[in-house]
C-alpha cells in the first residue's frame, strides 16, 4: 500500500468528519443552532482536524524514521567482518543493499550476504508499510471518534479550532525562520572549516586573490585568499550602479508621484516595473554583447582604453536593473507624505518645486535613504550581471575602465566544475558567502530600521 493511498484515505475520513461533526453538533443542540457555543461548522472543523492532523503527523514521522531503523536492523544482521568495516565503506555496502532491495540494481560482484540482507530489508519494509497503514488509520479513526464524542452544547469548538490554526501559522512562519538559521549555520560551519586551513587574518586583510587549483596545489602551495580585491570590486561596481540608479530612480519617482497625470502614471509605472521583472541573466548578456562593446568603441573614439568587461559596463547595467527598485520604493514613500503638508506649503504661496524640494523630499528623506540601502544590498549580492560583464581578474584598481571581479563571481567560480569539498579552494566560497551575507544583512536591518522610524512619524 502506497503512502499516497494512506494519505488519501485519511483525507476522505477527515472530510467525512467535517460532515459528521457538524450534524452531530446540530443533533446535540436539538436543531437549535443558537444553543451551541460555536457555529456548527466549527464542530465539523474540529472533528476534521482531530482526524487528519495526528494521522498525518504519524505518517510524516514514520516515513522519516523508517529507513534509518530498517538500516540499523539490517546492519546488525550483517556478517561480523562487514560490520567491522570503516564507516564510509560500511555505508557503501548498505547503499548497495538498498539499491538491490528497492531498485533491483544488482551489484557488480554478488555476494550471498548481500542478497540475504536485501531480502531481509525488503521484507522488513513490507511489514513496516502495513504497520504504518494500520497505525495511521487507527490514529485517524481514534481522532475521529474521540473528537465526535467530545461534542457537547458547551464545548468550545471555535476556540479549539482557532488555537490549532494559530499553531499552524506559527509552524509556517518558523519554517521560514528556521531555513534562514539553517543556511547561516551551514555557511558558518563550512567557513569554520575554511578558517581552520587559512588564517582569518590572511582572508580578511589579504591583498592578493590567487587560490590556485585544488588538484594542482602542492602541500606547500595552498594559494592566497585575500578578500580585499574582491571586496573592492564588489563595492566599486555597486558604487557605479548606485550612481546610475539613485538619481534616475529618484527623479523618475518624483515625476511619477508629483507631476505626472493619472493616465501617464497608470501606463508608465508598470512599464518601469517591468525592468525589475527582466531576469538578471538577460541583463548579463545585454551587458556582455551590447553595452560592453559599445563602451569600448566609444572609449576608442576618445582614445580611452576601455576593456569590454569593465567596472563601468557592469555598474551601468546593474544600475539600470535597480532603477525600478529605487523608483518604486521612493514613489511609495513620497506618496505617503500627507497631502496636508503639501497644502500647507501651497497655502503659504510656495511653488510646486519649492514644495517638493523643501517639504516633500525632506519629509520622505529617511524612507528614501532606506530604499537606497535596500538597493545597495541588492547590488552587492547581484551575481549574473557581474559574472558576465565584470570580468574574472581580481584586481585592485581605481580605474573604472578596467575589469575587476566580485565576491559573487568568485563564489560561482569556486563552486562550479569538478571539485572536492574539503579543499580551501572550494571552502573559501562559503567564507565569501558568509561575509556577503553579513554585509547585506547589516544593510537590510539598517534600512528597515530607518524606514520604520519614518513610518512612525505619520501614523
Which residues in this chain contact other proteins in the complex, by CB under 8 A? 338, 340-351, 354, 358-359, 362-363, 457
Q: Which CB, 290 or 351, lies closer to other proteins?
A: 351
- The least distance separating other proteins from the CB of residue 248, rounded to whole angstroms, comes to 27
Classify 447 as helix, strand or coil: helix
Q: Which CB, 197 or 332, lies closer to other proteins?
A: 332
* Cα–Cα distance, 299 to 289 (Å, whole number): 16
Q: Which CB, 27 or 348, lies closer to other proteins?
A: 348
- The least distance separating other proteins from the CB of residue 367, rounded to whole angstroms, comes to 12
* Cα–Cα distance, 353 to 251 (Å, whole number): 12
- The least distance separating other proteins from the CB of residue 266, rounded to whole angstroms, comes to 14
Q: Which CB, 134 or 362, lies closer to other proteins?
A: 362
Query: What b/e sequence results for 177-206 when a residue is b if at least 16 CB atoms lie within 10 Å of its CB, and e otherwise?
Result: eeeeeeeeeebeebbeebbeebeeeebeeb
Q: Which CB, 32 or 351, lies closer to other proteins?
A: 351
Query: What b/e sequence results for 363-384 when a residue is b if at least 16 CB atoms lie within 10 Å of its CB, and e otherwise?
Result: bbebbbbbbbbbbbbbbbbbbb
- The least distance separating other proteins from the CB of residue 366, rounded to whole angstroms, comes to 10
Q: Which CB, 173 or 358, lies closer to other proteins?
A: 358
- E-assigned strand segments in 201-308: 209-210, 224-225
- The least distance separating other proteins from the CB of residue 271, rounded to whole angstroms, comes to 23
> Any idea which residue has 564507516 for its cell?
87
Q: Count of residues for the chain? A: 459
End-to-end C-alpha distance for the chain, whole angstroms: 58
Classify 421 as helix, strand or coil: coil
Closest C-alpha to 408, from 421, 425, 392:
392
Closest C-alpha to 59, from 7, 121, 126, 107:
7
- The least distance separating other proteins from the CB of residue 363, rounded to whole angstroms, comes to 5
Amino acid at each position: 500500500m502506497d503512502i499516497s493511498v494512506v494519505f488519501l484515505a485519511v483525507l476522505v475520513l477527515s472530510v467525512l468528519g467535517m460532515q459528521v461533526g457538524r450534524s452531530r453538533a446540530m443533533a446535540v443542540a436539538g436543531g437549535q443552532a443558537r444553543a451551541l457555543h460555536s457555529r456548527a461548522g466549527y464542530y465539523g472543523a474540529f472533528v476534521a482536524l482531530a482526524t487528519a492532523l495526528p494521522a498525518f503527523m504519524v505518517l510524516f514521522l514514520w516515513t522519516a524514521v523508517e529507513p534509518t531503523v530498517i538500516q540499523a536492523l539490517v546492519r546488525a544482521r550483517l556478517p561480523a567482518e562487514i560490520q567491522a568495516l570503516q564507516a564510509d565503506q560500511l555505508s557503501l555496502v548498505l547503499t548497495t543493499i538498498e539499491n538491490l532491495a528497492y531498485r533491483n540494481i544488482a551489484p557488480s560482484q554478488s555476494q550471498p550476504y548481500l542478497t540475504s540482507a536485501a531480502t531481509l530489508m525488503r521484507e522488513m519494509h513490507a511489514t513496516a508499510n502495513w504497520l504504518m497503514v494500520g497505525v495511521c488509520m487507527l490514529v485517524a479513526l481514534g481522532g475521529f471518534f474521540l473528537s465526535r464524542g467530545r461534542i457537547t452544547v458547551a464545548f468550545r469548538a471555535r476556540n479549539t479550532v482557532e488555537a490549532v490554526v494559530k499553531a499552524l501559522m506559527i509552524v509556517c512562519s518558523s519554517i521560514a525562520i528556521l531555513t534562514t538559521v539553517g543556511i547561516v549555520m551551514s555557511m558558518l560551519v563550512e567557513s569554520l572549516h575554511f578558517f581552520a586551513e587559512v588564517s582569518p587574518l590572511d582572508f580578511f586583510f589579504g591583498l592578493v586573490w590567487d587560490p590556485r587549483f585544488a588538484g594542482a596545489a602542492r602541500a606547500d602551495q595552498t594559494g592566497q585568499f585575500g578578500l580585499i580585491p574582491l571586496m573592492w570590486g564588489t563595492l566599486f561596481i555597486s558604487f557605479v550602479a548606485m550612481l546610475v540608479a539613485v538619481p534616475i530612480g529618484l527623479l523618475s519617482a518624483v515625476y511619477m508621484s508629483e507631476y505626472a497625470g493619472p493616465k501617464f502614471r497608470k501606463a508608465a509605472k508598470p512599464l518601469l516595473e517591468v525592468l525589475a521583472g527582466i531576469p538578471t541573466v538577460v541583463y548579463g548578456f545585454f551587458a556582455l554583447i551590447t553595452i560592453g562593446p559599445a563602451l569600448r568603441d566609444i572609449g576608442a573614439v576618445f582614445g580611452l582604453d576601455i576593456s569590454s568587461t569593465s567596472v563601468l559596463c557592469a555598474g551601468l547595467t546593474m544600475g539600470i536593473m535597480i532603477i525600478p527598485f529605487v523608483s518604486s520604493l521612493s514613489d511609495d514613500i513620497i506618496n505617503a507624505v500627507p497631502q496636508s503638508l503639501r497644502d500647507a506649503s501651497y497655502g503659504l504661496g510656495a511653488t510646486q518645486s519649492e514644495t517638493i524640494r523643501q517639504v516633500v523630499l525632506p519629509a520622505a528623506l529617511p524612507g528614501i535613504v532606506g530604499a537606497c540601502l535596500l538597493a545597495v544590498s541588492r547590488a552587492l549580492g547581484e551575481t549574473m550581471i557581474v559574472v558576465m560583464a565584470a570580468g574574472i581578474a581580481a584586481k585592485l584598481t581605481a580605474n573604472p575602465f578596467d575589469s575587476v571581479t566580485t565576491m559573487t563571481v568568485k563564489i560561482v567560480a569556486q563552486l562550479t566544475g569538478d571539485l572536492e569539498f574539503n579543499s580551501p579552494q572550494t571552502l573559501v566560497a562559503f567564507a565569501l558567502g558568509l561575509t556577503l551575507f553579513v554585509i547585506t544583512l547589516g544593510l537590510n536591518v539598517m534600512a528597515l530600521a530607518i524606514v520604520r522610524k519614518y513610518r512612525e512619524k505619520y501614523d
